């Protein structure tokens, strides 16, 4: 048995940030990671000769914890390509181009979108995303689905479908009837307001040169041989004063894994019942991130930015994802997303049919050239046993107020952290860094 101060389970950004901060303060730390790589939901990999961001990739200006960490690790950023017109396909099935963040919808619909967005901003401004259950309207908002809340706000279906898009398919990646209005407000508050979710130029502002996985790779390099890969943790034995994990005995264990995967670990003694109950009410959303590579970024020559949206299309949003930090590469890359029930349906099809459907959806935005890529890739997070969904986990209706206060409560020597339990930066890398630093800070004060 080897004695250490802290065992960290999981070498995603949360676990690696906690481990680096603890080690910097002189604590003896080991990180046990199930996969044969670090980074968890961040993976930058070359597939069919194209460098892809298979997991997370974008950074927004308010993600100051991530920007500071990138700076500390010597990483630089570059802006997402966005010059030219964006495309929107409306409820009438007509394709229209536009500039800015207001979709080209009928005037009355635009007014309704603006009004409902302002209401969401007002609700978000009264929420501390670390404690959403303390919102003055928490009980009421948590008891109704976001779909029901939207239906009560406006009779305009296209306004509802667009507002729903920003929180449902695009963020929590669940249908809006399956999560509460309070969870929707949390998503907005955690990003600094609903107006940020509406603004792709803000929320998807920049990328990290070399790929976002550089953050966990460089953190892990600092930890050296304290990181043990291919070491899944299946059992944790604990007492009020310490715990045993595999070959290690420690004063503290940080479980830096998504809540859904905490439930797969056996604890002796078992965790308090409320912990297991709580995590049965948290689940991953489902989104398929698609990378489609072309000989050139052909859409640019017809004046398109590559940005495209439609609540009515299979691919509900798409962007130019060309690797601007590799200027010698002439190829153009589009990234697109198929979410929640549309993803369920897509996954029922065989691979060639899925590809055909996706390309058909892209052709509706960018024209027939979109049907002829040189490479096509679907991120497979839902089939990965060490994630099993994307982008993150969220509560079902009513559970944020019922269980939220237990989210970050330690149990004896065990502490729980991941981007899924963050306030600011919830479900994002920024939140993972904030959680990692908060956990390390709490253990150092102990
Ligand atoms: P994460 O899940 O990354 O790490 C947990 C680690 O624990 C994993 O390495 C896992 O293997 C390990 N583990 C699990 N169980 C274990 C066990 N029993 N024993 C040992 N190890 C175990 N964010 C963002 O900021 N910008 C973006 O653009 C995007 N886009 C995006 C796209 C896609 C497709 C995905 C899937 C996700 C994003 N995200 C994102 C979200 C972002 O990637 C995510 O919030 C963080 O990377 C999560 O980091 P964590 O360390 O909290 O968990």
Q: How far away, in angstroms, is 331 Cα from ligand 1 center?
A: 28
Q: Residue 446: pLDDT above 90?
A: no
Is there an atom of ligand 1 within 6 Å of 161 CB? no
290 and 379 housed in the same domain: yes
How much is the average pLDDT of 310-333? 97
- Give yes or no for residue 429 CB within 6 A of ligand 1: yes
Asked if 339 and 256 sit in the same domain, the reply is no
- Among 150, 174, 198, where does a domain finish? 198
* Index of the ligand 1 atom closest to the CA of residue 41: 3
User: Is 309 within a domain?
Assistant: yes
Ligand 1, atom 30, residue with closest C-alpha: 56
**For residue 199, what pLDDT is reported?**
92
Question: pLDDT confidence of 102, banded at 50, 70, 90?
Answer: confident
Instruction: Encode 223-234: b = buried (16+ Cβ within 10 Å), e = exposed.
Output: beebbeeebebe
Q: Is the CB of 216 under 6 A from ligand 1?
A: no
User: Is residue 268 scored above 90 in pLDDT?
Assistant: yes
pTM summary value: 0.98
Query: Does residue 415 belong to any structural domain of this protein?
Result: yes
145, 174, 198 — which closes off a domain? 198
CATH code for the domain of 153:
1.10.405.10
Residue 97, in any domain of the structure: no
Cβ(11) – ligand 1 distance below 6 Å: yes
What is the distance, to the nearest Å, from the Cα of residue 445 to the centroid of all Cα atoms in its chain?
30
Residue 397, in any domain of the structure: no
Mean pLDDT of 62-81: 97
Q: Is 289 in the pocket of ligand 1 (CB under 6 A)?
A: yes
Computed over every residue of the chain, the mean pLDDT equals 97
Count of domains for the chain: 3
Same domain, 119 and 172: yes
259 and 329 share one domain: no
Chain segment 122-167, per-residue pLDDT in tens: 999 999 999 999 999 999 999 999 999 999 999 999 999 999 999 9
Please check whether residues 37 and 116 belong to one and the same domain. no
Q: Is the CB of residue 16 below 6 angstroms from any atom belonging to ligand 1?
A: no
* Contact status, residue 395 vs residue 426, Cβ threshold 8 Å: no
- Measured in angstroms, how far is the CA atom of residue 131 from the centroid of ligand 1? 22
Do residue 350 and residue 290 come from a single domain? Answer: yes
169 Cβ contact list (under 8 Å, min separation 6): 287, 311, 316, 317, 337, 339, 340, 342
Secondary element (H or E) of residue 167: helix 157-167
Cα 386 to averaged position of ligand 1 atoms, centre (Å)? 9
Angle formed by the axes of helices 214-223 and 64-72, nearest 10°? 50
Burial of 106 (0-12, 13-18, 19+ CB in 10 A): middle
Indicate if 174 and 147 belong to the same structural domain.
yes
Contact 416/253 with Cβ under 8 angstroms? no
Q: In a mutational test of the pocket of ligand 1, which residue from 206, 391, 415, 438 has the highest number of ligand atoms less than 8 Å from its CB?
A: 391
Q: 405 lies in a domain?
A: no
Same domain, 250 and 174: no
Domain residue limits at 347: 44-59+77-82+203-207+286-383
Mean pLDDT value of segment 60-72:
98
Q: What is the CATH number of the domain that holds 372?
A: 3.90.660.10
Give distance in angstroms: CA of 427 to centre of ligand 1: 9
Residue 65 forms part of a structural domain? no
Q: How confident is the model at residue 101 (pLDDT cuts 50, 70, 90)?
A: confident
The CA 126 to ligand 1 mean position distance, Å, reads 29
Distance 39 CA to ligand 1 centre (A): 7
Residue 404 falls inside a structural domain? no
Q: Ligand 1 pocket test: which of 215, 257, 436 has the largest number of ligand atoms within 8 Å of its C-beta?
A: 257
Cα dihedral 124, 196, 99, 301 in deg (nearest 10):
-150
In a domain, 72, yes or no: no
Distance 40 CA to ligand 1 centre (A): 4
Instruction: Identify the burial level of 93 via C-beta atoms within 10 angstroms of its C-beta, where 0-12 means exposed, 13-18 middle and 19 or more buried.
Output: exposed
Ligand 1 atom with the smallest distance to the CA of 387 is 2
Let me know if 1 is exposed, middle or buried by CB neighbors in 10 A (0-12, 13-18, 19+).
exposed
| CB of 259 shorter than 6 A to ligand 1 | no
């Amino acid at each position: 048995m080897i004695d250490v101060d802290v065992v960290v389970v999981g070498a995603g950004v949360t676990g690696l940030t906690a481990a680096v901060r603890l080690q910097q303060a002189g604590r003896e730390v080991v990180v046990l990671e199930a996969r044969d790589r670090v980074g968890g939901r961040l993976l930058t990999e070359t597939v069919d000769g194209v460098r892809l961001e298979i997991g997370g990739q974008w950074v927004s200006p308010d993600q100051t914890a991530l920007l500071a960490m990138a700076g500390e690790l010597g990483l630089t950023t570059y802006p997402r390509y966005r010059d030219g017109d964006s495309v929107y396909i409306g409820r009438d099935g007509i394709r229209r181009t536009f500039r800015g963040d207001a979709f080209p919808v009928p005037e009355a619909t635009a007014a309704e979108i603006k009004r409902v967005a302002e209401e969401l901003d007002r609700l978000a401004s009264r929420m501390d995303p670390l404690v959403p259950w303390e919102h003055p309207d928490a009980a009421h908002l948590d008891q109704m689905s976001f779909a029901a809340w939207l239906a009560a706000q406006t009779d305009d279906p296209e306004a509802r479908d667009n507002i729903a898009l920003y929180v449902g398919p695009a963020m929590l990646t669940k249908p809006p009837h399956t999560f509460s209005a309070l969870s929707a407000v949390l998503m907005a508050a955690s990003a600094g307001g609903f107006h940020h979710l509406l603004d792709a130029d803000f929320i998807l502002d920049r990328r990290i040169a070399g790929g976002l996985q550089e953050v966990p790779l460089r953190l892990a390099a600092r930890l050296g041989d304290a990181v043990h890969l291919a070491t899944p943790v299946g059992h944790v034995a604990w007492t009020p004063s310490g715990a045993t994990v595999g070959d290690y005995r420690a004063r503290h264990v940080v479980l830096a894994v998504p809540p859904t995967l905490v439930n797969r670990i056996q604890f002796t003694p078992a965790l308090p019942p409320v912990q297991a109950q709580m995590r049965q009410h948290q689940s991953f959303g489902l989104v398929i991130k698609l990378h489609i590579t072309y000989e050139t970024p052909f859409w640019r020559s017809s004046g398109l930015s590559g940005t495209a949206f439609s609540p009515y299309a299979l691919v509900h949003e798409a962007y130019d994802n060309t690797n601007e930090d590799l200027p010698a590469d002439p190829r153009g890359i589009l990234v697109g997303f198929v979410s929640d029930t549309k993803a369920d349906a897509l996954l029922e099809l065989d691979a060639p049919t899925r590809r055909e459907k996706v390309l058909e959806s892209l052709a509706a935005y960018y024209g027939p050239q979109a049907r002829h890529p040189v490479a096509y890739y679907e991120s497979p997070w839902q089939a990965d046993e060490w994630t099993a969904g994307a982008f993150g986990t969220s509560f079902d209706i009513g559970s944020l107020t019922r269980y939220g206060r237990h989210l970050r409560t330690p149990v004896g020597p065990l502490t729980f952290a991941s981007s899924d339990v963050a306030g600011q930066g919830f479900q994002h890398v920024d939140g993972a860094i904030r959680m990692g630093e908060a956990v390390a800070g709490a253990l150092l004060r102990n």
